Amino acid sequence: MPTPRSIRVLCALVLSLSAALPAAAADEAPDTQRLQVTDPYIELRTGPGRGYPIFFVAARAEWIEVHLRYTDWYKVRTDGGKEGWVHRRQLVTTLTEAGASRSFRDIAFDDFLQRRAEFGAGWGHFKAEPMLKFWAGYKLSESIGIEATLGQVQGIFSGTNFWHVNLQLEPWSDQRISPFFAVGVGNFKNIPNTSLVAATPTDAKLSNASLGVRYYLTERFVLRADYSIYTAFLNDTRSGEYRAITGGISFFF
């Protein structure tokens, strides 16, 4: 199992990278659209949050226009000229001028669907030895991405460092639970403990194939687990195969 110190380092890295993300700002204004209130009323607040007071109530059958979105809050204007902020939940039953309902999905999940870059860290086992792994990925399209990984294994008789770059396929990237497949190449370096006599370091090319799954957790965080098979090409005639399993957490933007 990973040592307490390794877990502390892992948590510190994830928290520091998360803090470095840019603060959320107001989203771009949606296309202005007239909507009709179908609930008995909706409440307009002076600002985008429940801490702001309600200053006006728009009754059923009144028309409003949506002008701006800030997280789960929408700035609206009534036909009478009143402007205020309404929570998404109060807008889900409104109707358009064509008599159809408009989708107001969870904003955080929308961010997940539009994600591009992802950073993460995890721990697990590499050939039964404890392993720490860090990765950074970027989506080239809806279902294809690239990912760079650094790993460290601390065994009883030796330590191993490796890195690889993968091409990743995620066919159901729009789902909360999303499996993925990856293949890649990199480098493998094994350094024996100094107490071992006549042991020599190993520096070899590496290939890998992985199968994993992502689970959208909340906000910008994703849980992840993967199973990998690594092949190290030790020389022209000999290779070594290693299996690894990892679980961790990543964040995206």
- Does the pLDDT at position 23 exceed 60? no
Domain boundaries, the chain: 4-22+112-252, 33-104
Tens digit of each residue's pLDDT (9 = 90 or more) over 187-223: 999 888 766 556 678 899 999 999 999 998 877 899 9
Average pLDDT score, the chain: 83
Q: Residue 230: phi, psi to the nearest 5?
A: -105, 135
Q: 196 exposed, middle or buried (CB, 10 Å; 0-12, 13-18, 19+)?
A: exposed
Q: What's residue 26's pLDDT? A: 44
DSSP-assigned states of every residue in 60-114: TT-EEEEEEEETTEEEEEETTS-EEEEEGGGTTT-EETTS-B-----HHHHHHHT
Q: How many CB atoms lie within 10 A of CB 137?
A: 22
pTM above 0.75, yes or no: no
Of 8-22, 26-40, 83-97, 157-171, the poorest mean pLDDT is in: 8-22
Mention the CATH class of domain 33-104.
Answer: mainly beta
- Transcribe 124-180 into DSSP letters: EEETTEEEEEEEEEEESSSSEEEEEEEEEEE-SSEEEEEEEEEEEE-TTTTSSEEEE
Q: pLDDT class for 115, splitting at 50, 70, 90?
A: confident
pLDDT value of position 25: 40
Residue 53: its pLDDT value, please?
Answer: 94
Strand pairing of 83-87 and 202-218? unpaired
Q: Could you tell me what percent of the chain has a pLDDT over 90?
A: 51
The CATH code of domain 4-22+112-252 reads 2.40.160.20
CA distance 82 to 91: 16
Residue 8 has a pLDDT of 56
- 30-39, 111-120, 151-160, 220-229: range with highest mean pLDDT: 220-229
Share of the chain above pLDDT 70, in %: 81
Q: What is the pLDDT of residues 24-79, one digit of tens each?
A: 444 444 557 789 999 999 999 999 988 999 999 999 999 999 988 887 788 999 99
Q: Report the distance separating Cα 245 and Cα 208, nearest Å.
A: 13
